[in-house]
Amino acid sequence: MLHYKILRISNTSFLFIMKLTFLLSISFVLFGAAHAQQLKSPDGNFILTFMLRADGTPVYSLAYKSKAVIKSSKLGLELKRDKKSLLDDFTVVDTATTSFDETWKPVWGEVKTIRNHYNEMAVTLNQKETSRQIIIRFRLFDDGLGFRYEFPAQKNLVYFVIKEERTEFAMAGDHTAYWIPGDYDTQEYDYTTSKLSEIKALMAKSVTENLSQTTIPATAVQTSLMMKTNDGLFINLHEAALINYACMHLRLDDNMVFESWLTPDAIGDKGYIQAPSVTPWRTVIVSDDARDILASKMTYNLNEPCKIKETGWIKPVKYVGVWWEMITGKSSWSYTNDYPAIEIGKTDFTKAKPNGTHGANTANVKKYIDFAAQNGFDAVLVEGWNIGWEDWFGHSKDYVFDFVTPYPDFHVKELRDYAKSKGIKIIMHHETSGSVRNYERHMDTAYKFMKANGYDAVKSGYVGNILPRGENHYSQWIINHYQYAIEKAAEYKIMVNAHEAVRPTGIARTYPNLIGNEAARGTEYQAFGGSKPNHVTVLPFTRLIGGPMDYTPGIFEMDISKLNPKNTSHVNSTLANQLALYVTMYSPLQMAADLPENYNRFRDAFQFIKDVAVDWDDSKYLEAAPGDYITVARKAKGKNNWFVGNVNGYQARTSEITLDFLDAGKSYMATIYADALDAHYKTNPQAYRIRKMMVNNKTKLSQFSAPGGGYAISIMATGKK
Ligand code: NOJ
Ligand code: CA
């Protein structure tokens, strides 16, 4: 279904555009500028305007249904070594407009097929003084705008160093924003909701509350940035296809103008570019209905099609893990407590003194494998299986992990065979400790070890400073490492779930073996002191815009001291809210993060986690307001079963939905797992009730959700009319 047409072949529209350009150029010549070009989205709701100012500075603006989204904003890049930057002195050499319409099938996803439909305008600019040429390519979809810079191969622009990208996004008002600080090393923040004008004053508070260690620019925020305007627009700024470039944050000035702010490398440079080359796409997703932001597939559409030829080995995964017990402090990753005595390569672990709390011991792993097999899970994640944790915690050395040497109580082959006999996969864990060159040196051996022992997915982690140069977590150098790890894993048919790596930008379209990322504040923070109860009503509007998150939901015991008396954290969520996350936080990789014993206490509620699908043919966004509530319905892949999830913010609320997405004339059995009327994320989180009822596509539901609560519904086809 590929369809590519050049707009200019239509004589009438060509003539019309000529006339329009003529008129526009006359009017702009009067003001000393020229070359205003306009592009419309396929449905006509968006209008993009591009022009050069009198000094040859490229600018653009964007309107949606006649409302200003981006006011006149500059485009360009400041270079470090070159005498002249790529900021001004440009003339337009060529403007090419095309239209594109295709439908593609993701390997996994929220929907079976995705339409990629846009109008494009590529403007070739020539810098008069230097004769250097760049292209600015705009793609206008029905859900928003993507644009990027391109540097074609040429004599006068072979390679250069970026001092700063100077792309502006001038906001049309003092919008409400859902933001986290522009940290270079972590996205693991609670979101702050404030007016744009309040960001500066609230930044320090947010950084302190979240205990960030990093020095960050005072007015920069991270993307994906979600905003709501006073006149009812929802605007999301992010990037797509972040490849061989630094991650973009946004710095706000006092006039409500955001400017791109790239993550510097260890010596402060922002990018090394060699032509031919392109930047990531800068994206602006817009609608007057918040649900459209959740449904947008623009970020994926701006990425290249799948580059993995045979994808049959890439499969969605529902898993449990030897994990929450370490996160809560109930057990340990390390085998001994003998930190100073351990020396990698010298210590014989079979002689080391066990601490008695090591989680990844063979008997415990078998317990999880049994639980997984009995309850229909695909896999068990095991962390703390390999030597190195003592040394890392003790010394922060950069050669700690080799990713192939198990602790003496983790029997690789015995567990491989046991898992296989039960039809369960073990998920590998590679904590790199930020020692990226060490990881790259061991990568082939580590991936081969995985294949030899039956592992086909790895959770990797990048905790701590990036060694050896002290890189930030999101600079170009390490973005290239994350990409290398994904592509190398694909060669071995290995799926990747990277934690503490850069937030995704739709790359999973091209490399669908990237089945998960963390890159935001996940459930682990509920055991590190707690997260805001409305956190999960923001994440789908921000972090999930670029791809799925390994959020690790499913906590049933909210009082963490019950697991570890020394840990007084409280999980700020009701149990029903935890169930809803399997639907609202889309991911082809879903964990049931709590311990088997906690699931066994609430078997009736656990049934939802057993039933819920991890791959979908369709998704309907029923209700949405960032920070307040999200209700989503999804149809299980290849089945006529639906699952609905609602997550709720601070205020109790009654959600009103119609099940009109069900097939007409068919009846279904719905099981509703909902907050009890007296449920509350803090005081009464485990109060839920379950009820069953027959439903059809006419059924209307009025369903209560408590503060920090929600509901989950399974809707199974009965085969009856
Ligand atoms: C932080 C990760 O987010 C967490 O999931 C992991 O268990 C620890 N690092 C240890 O690698
Ligand atoms: Ca983390």
Note the pLDDT of residue 348. Answer: 83
Mean pLDDT, residues 526-554 taken together: 98
Tell how far the Cα of 550 is from the centroid of ligand 2, in angstroms. Answer: 10
In the 3-class helix/strand/coil scheme, how is 340-390 assigned residue by residue? HHCCCCCCCCCCCCCCCCECCCHHHHHHHHHHHHHCCCCEEEECCCECCHH
Note the pLDDT of residue 394. Answer: 58
Supply the residues annotated as catalytic.
524
Note the pLDDT of residue 306. Answer: 98
Can you name the residues that pair with 320 across neighbouring β-strands?
380
Tell me the C-alpha distance between 272 and 480, whole Å.
12
Note the pLDDT of residue 396. Answer: 54
DSSP character string of 522-574: -GGGGGTT---TTHHHHGGGTGGGGS-----------BGGGT-TT---B--S-
Mean pLDDT, residues 463-486 taken together: 92
Mean pLDDT, residues 606-632 taken together: 98
pLDDT above 90 covers a percentage of the chain that reads 86
C-beta of 518 in contact with ligand 1 (< 6 A): yes
* Alpha carbon distances (Å) from 707 to 30, 304, 628, 682: 59, 41, 10, 9
Nearest-atom index, ligand 1, CA of 327: 7
Our CA dihedral for 582, 584, 586, 588, rounded to 10 degrees, sits at: 10
- Whether residue 63 is predicted with pLDDT greater than 60 in this model: the reply is yes
Q: Which is more confident, 407 or 6?
A: 407
Note the pLDDT of residue 215. Answer: 59
What is the side-by-side strand order in the sheet with 457-461?
A: 514-517, 495-499, 457-461, 425-431, 379-382, 317-322, 589-591
C-beta of 188 in contact with ligand 1 (< 6 A): no
Q: What are 372-408's pLDDT values in tens digits?
A: 999 999 999 999 999 988 877 655 555 578 999 999 9
Q: What are 239-267's pLDDT values in tens digits?
A: 999 999 999 999 999 999 999 999 999 99
Cα torsion 521, 527, 528, 532: sign: positive
Structure tokens of 437?
Answer: 């060159």
Q: Is residue 558 within 8 Å of 570, Cβ to Cβ?
A: yes
> Mean pLDDT over all residues of the chain?
93
If one residue of 524, 525, 543, 549 were mutated to test the ligand 1 pocket, choosing by the most ligand atoms within 8 A of its CB, it would be: 524
Tell how far the Cα of 67 is from the centroid of ligand 1, in angstroms. Answer: 44
Question: Which of 50, 137, 49, 55 has its CA nearest to residue 90?
Answer: 55
- Whether residue 1 is predicted with pLDDT greater than 60 in this model: the reply is no
- If phi over 0 gives left and psi between -120 and 50 gives alpha, with beta otherwise, what is residue 642? beta
Tell how far the Cα of 297 is from the centroid of ligand 2, in angstroms. Answer: 26
- Whether residue 551 is predicted with pLDDT greater than 70 in this model: the reply is yes
Can you name the residues that pair with 259 across neighbouring β-strands?
168, 251
Amino acid letter for position 577: N
- H or E element, residue 160: strand 159-165
* pLDDT band at residue 24 using 50, 70 and 90 as cut-offs: very low
The DSSP bridge pattern shows strands 495-499 and 144-151 to be: unpaired
> Residue whose CA is closest, atom 3 of ligand 1?
499
- Counting ligands in written order, which one lies closest to the CA of residue 591? 1
pLDDT above 70 covers a percentage of the chain that reads 92
Tell me the C-alpha distance between 125 and 136, whole Å.
8
Q: What are 287-314's pLDDT values in tens digits?
A: 999 999 999 999 999 999 999 999 999 9
Tell me the C-alpha distance between 609 and 581, whole Å.
10
Q: Cβ atoms within 10 A of the Cβ of 36, count?
A: 18
Q: What are 168-220's pLDDT values in tens digits?
A: 999 999 999 999 999 999 999 999 999 999 999 998 888 888 766 565 667 89
Question: Which of 503, 506, 528 has its CA nearest to residue 221?
Answer: 503
Tell how far the Cα of 253 is from the centroid of ligand 2, in angstroms. Answer: 31
If one residue of 473, 499, 528, 543 were mutated to test the ligand 1 pocket, choosing by the most ligand atoms within 8 A of its CB, it would be: 499
If one residue of 383, 439, 526 were mutated to test the ligand 1 pocket, choosing by the most ligand atoms within 8 A of its CB, it would be: 383
- Counting ligands in written order, which one lies closest to the CA of residue 383? 1
Can you name the residues that pair with 119 across neighbouring β-strands?
99, 140
* Alpha carbon distances (Å) from 598 to 535, 645, 672: 23, 22, 21
| Residue 488: strand, helix, or coil | helix
Least confident of 27-41, 241-255, 634-648: 27-41
Mean pLDDT, residues 123-144 taken together: 98
Note the pLDDT of residue 34. Answer: 55
Its pTM stands at: 0.94
Q: Which domains does the chain have, with CATH numbers?
A: 1-31 (no CATH), 33-290 (2.70.98.10), 317-519 (3.20.20.70)
- Counting ligands in written order, which one lies closest to the CA of residue 360? 1
Q: What are 655-708's pLDDT values in tens digits?
A: 999 999 999 999 999 999 999 999 999 999 999 999 999 999 999 999 999 999
